[in-house]
């Protein structure tokens, strides 16, 4: 091994290389003739040629080692993919209720990819009837935002969660002849049960919606 390399720890030389900005890891292959190969893993923002020159300069300055640039091999790691700041999700915009005698009209307005979709359902204005209508109108709005996919309500329950009230739903999704059942839940805040129903349905659907 080259006297200069032999008199110094290979680990110390690797540590010197590792101190250079942008270098994630470094490994040296040495034999009786000195340094045979230098393998480097670097960040993606560094220029490879500039990094090679930095390595040569650092080894000469700190260890007195002149290394042929052809012995330096640099691999760059890819930058991690950042999640979208605004993922494509269905969002509740408004709930409208019109009651006339024993009948009720529910309108649910949702937004998806900067577009609005409204679902409307009409029926009996009883307490249980309104809950079903809110769910039905929500699913109609979702169907307008999707393509070739059918949504139906399997079940809807109001539940007690400690000191709070919540809504749990089960939604059937039929796509390309395949039927799946998804569940979702939401807390009822300040007596807004209708919003909780919509949000529970969106919780069930949103996690799969981009795949439909």
CATH code of residue 155? 3.30.160
Q: Which domain holds residue 155?
A: 109-209
Instruction: Find the radius of gyration of the CA atoms of the chain.
Output: 32
User: Do 118 and 177 belong to one domain?
Assistant: yes
Q: Which residue has the tokens 């720890």?
A: 9
Rounded to whole angstroms, how far apart are CA atoms 51 and 20? 8
Cβ atoms < 10 Å from Cβ of 171: 26
Both structure tokens of 176: 């390309």
User: Do 54 and 122 belong to one domain?
Assistant: no
> Is 18 contained in some domain?
yes
- Average pLDDT of the residues in 170-178: 85
Q: Is the pLDDT of residue 147 over 90?
A: no
Express each pLDDT in 18-56 by its tens digit: 889 888 888 898 887 788 899 998 877 778 888 899 999
Q: For residue 4, what pLDDT is reported?
A: 60
Q: What is the CATH number of the domain that holds 38?
A: 3.30.300.30
Q: Is the pLDDT of residue 193 over 50?
A: yes
Both structure tokens of 205: 């659907």
Q: In what order do the strands lie in the sheet with 23-31?
A: 23-31, 34-42, 72-76
- Average pLDDT of the residues in 60-70: 88
Residue ending a domain, among 54, 76, 98, is 76
Total tally of structural domains belonging to the chain: 2
Rounded to whole angstroms, how far apart are CA atoms 26 and 20? 10
Q: For residue 175, what pLDDT is reported?
A: 82
> Is 85 contained in some domain?
no
Rounded to whole angstroms, how far apart are CA atoms 189 and 204? 19
Rounded to whole angstroms, how far apart are CA atoms 58 and 62? 6
Q: Tell me which residue of 192, 181, 126 sits closest to 158, measured CA to CA.
A: 192
Q: Is the pLDDT of residue 151 over 80?
A: yes
Q: What percent of the chain has a predicted confidence (pLDDT) above 70?
A: 86
pTM, to two decimals: 0.58
Express each pLDDT in 73-98 by its tens digit: 888 765 555 554 445 789 999 999 99
């Amino acid at each position: 091994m080259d006297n200069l390399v032999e008199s110094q720890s290979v680990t110390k030389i690797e540590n010197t290389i590792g101190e250079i900005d942008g270098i994630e890891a470094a490994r040296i292959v040495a034999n009786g003739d000195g340094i045979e190969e230098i393998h480097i893993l670097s960040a993606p923002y560094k220029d490879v040629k500039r990094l090679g020159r930095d390595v040569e300069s650092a080894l000469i300055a700190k260890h007195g080692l002149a290394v042929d640039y052809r012995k330096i091999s640099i691999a760059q790691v890819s930058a991690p993919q950042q999640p979208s700041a605004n993922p494509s999700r269905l969002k509740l915009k408004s709930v409208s209720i019109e009651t006339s005698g024993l009948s009720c009209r529910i309108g649910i307005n949702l937004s998806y990819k900067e577009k609005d979709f409204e679902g409307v359902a009409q029926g009996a204005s009883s307490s249980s009837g309104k809950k079903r209508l809110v769910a039905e109108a929500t699913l109609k709005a979702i169907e307008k935002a999707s393509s070739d996919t059918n949504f139906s309500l399997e079940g809807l329950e109001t539940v007690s969660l400690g000191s709070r009230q919540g809504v749990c739903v089960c939604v059937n999704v039929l796509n390309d002849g395949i039927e799946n059942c998804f569940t979702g839940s939401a807390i009822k805040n300040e007596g807004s049960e209708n919003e909780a129903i919509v949000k529970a349905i969106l919780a069930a659907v949103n996690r799969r919606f981009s795949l439909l």
